Amino acid sequence: MSSGRSAQFQIPWSQSEPVVPHPGGDPFNSIGLDWLRTKRGIKWRRFGPEVIPAWLADMDFPPAQRVTEAIQELLDGADLGYPGWVHGTPLRAAFAERMAQRFGWVLDPAQVRETNEVVQGTLLALLHGTSDGDVVAIHTPTYPPFLKHIPTLGRALLPIPMSDERDGWTVDLARLDHDLAASRCRALVLVNPHNPTGRVMTAEELDALAHLARRHDLLVISDEIHSDLIYPPHQHIPFASLPGMAERTVTLNSASKGFNLAGVRCAIAHVGPPRLREVWDNAPPTLYGSPNIFGVAATLAAWQHGEAWLSAVVAHLDRQRHLLVDFSPGTCRAPATIWSRQATSPGSTSGALNSALTRPPPCWPAPRWPCSPEWPSPSTAAGKATRG
């Protein structure tokens, strides 16, 4: 830890691994507002001191000790030149191992590629796997950059409206089946666990989507970036692990959410479809940007040595979400994963966030496929955290 920071704030779990119980109780409760206000990231910089920002999926906790050690080791070795990754980074094998251990998904590391960001990987998969004017389905509401960037690639959005029912957010599958056929949809961008509803899709829901993917011959791009942050009894199921789905699925993941490492800009893509992998590999690699050594070192340390830290974070978040539910009984349900619009603090930007998330998506080319009418209104979509 740098001396500047330790003068203000001693990270309670930085001295030993695995995480030790803090004498005062939960170590993650020891984060001070003074220290948070010194942070230079966009979350704490965008608004003034009157706001406690909770508008961005950056956690406020310092990273696991093994992650900071891995970065420090690179600096200590003064070896910051071009990396020697001839056949890809060690993340390929580490990702395969982690998926097998956590979810029983056995994949070939040779099919894994590095990207800097999950959104970048999503757009690359669409760029290489679909054509100008193709229709791309996505659950709505959704993470706003998808609504902004997919149309700029020349793909039209087909919204899959989610409705907030008593037991969680659901989709009308018969209608989806009809819409996929009517629009001649080519691809599905699946965000699971889902942002912003917090829903973790069940095996039945994923099976139903797999059935539709097969029936309509869809390329599936599965953003699983939030899969580390799930509360029991909910379980993450990688879409590509379903029978026959790996060959039509690109899976995106990253340590950035679970381990709070968004700034190191490192993500991976498991590119299942062989033809798409060929196109992906034939593009000049510099077009994508190479992975950087700090991002790879941090991600590797998180995936290989960060389990104790991650379990402690999830346990802490679980307690916090129940506090939130207890605080407003009857109006709030606990999401199955961390991300939820409800998790905004009083005096924060929740109003702006809610309206951004519930704004109708842009369709391209203009009225080619009518997405606006299906968009949930702010009154139904906003202000309710959900159970998965």
Ligand X SMILES: Cc1ncc(COP(=O)(O)O)c(C=O)c1O
Determine the length of the chain. 388
Using the minimum distance from each CB to ligand X, give the nearer residue, 143 or 364. Answer: 143
| Positions in 39-58 near ligand X (CB under 6 A) | 57
Using the minimum distance from each CB to ligand X, give the nearer residue, 267 or 332. Answer: 267
Contacting residues for 352 by C-beta, under 8 A, at least 6 apart = 55
Using the minimum distance from each CB to ligand X, give the nearer residue, 13 or 117. Answer: 117
Using the minimum distance from each CB to ligand X, give the nearer residue, 11 or 201. Answer: 201
Using the minimum distance from each CB to ligand X, give the nearer residue, 11 or 118. Answer: 118
**Contact at 8 Å (CB) between 20 and 65?**
no
Using the minimum distance from each CB to ligand X, give the nearer residue, 140 or 256. Answer: 256
Q: How far is the CB of 125 from ligand X (least distance, A)?
A: 13
Q: How far is the CB of 229 from ligand X (least distance, A)?
A: 10
Q: How far is Cα 339 from Cα 329, in angstroms, rounded to an integer?
A: 19
Q: How far is CA 5 from the centre of its chain?
A: 29
- x/- site string to ligand X, residues 126 to 145, per CB under 6 A? -----------------x--
If binding is defined by CB under 6 A, does position 89 make contact with ligand X? no
Dihedral (CA of 341, 347, 349, 354) sign: positive
Using CB under 6 A, pick the residue from 117, 134, 179, 228 that binds ligand X: 117
Using the minimum distance from each CB to ligand X, give the nearer residue, 65 or 253. Answer: 253
Which helix (DSSP H) or strand (DSSP E) does residue 277 occupy?
Answer: helix 274-282
Q: Helices in 130-227 by DSSP H: which ranges?
A: 144-152, 173-183, 203-215
3-state secondary structure of 248: helix
Q: How far is Cα 135 from Cα 133, in angstroms, rounded to an integer?
A: 7
Segment lying near ligand X (by CB under 6 A), choices 67-75, 117-125, 282-290, 326-334 = 117-125
| Positions in 334-373 near ligand X (CB under 6 A) | 339
Residue 316, judged by CB atoms within 10 A of its CB (0-12, 13-18, 19+), counts as: middle
- x/- site string to ligand X, residues 171 to 200, per CB under 6 A? --------------------x---x-----
How far lies 98's CA from each of 105, 106, 211, 303, in Å?
9, 9, 27, 7
Segment lying near ligand X (by CB under 6 A), choices 97-105, 114-122, 279-287, 370-378 = 114-122
Give contact residues for ligand X (rule: CB under 6 A). 57, 117-119, 143, 191, 195, 223, 225, 254, 256, 262, 267, 339
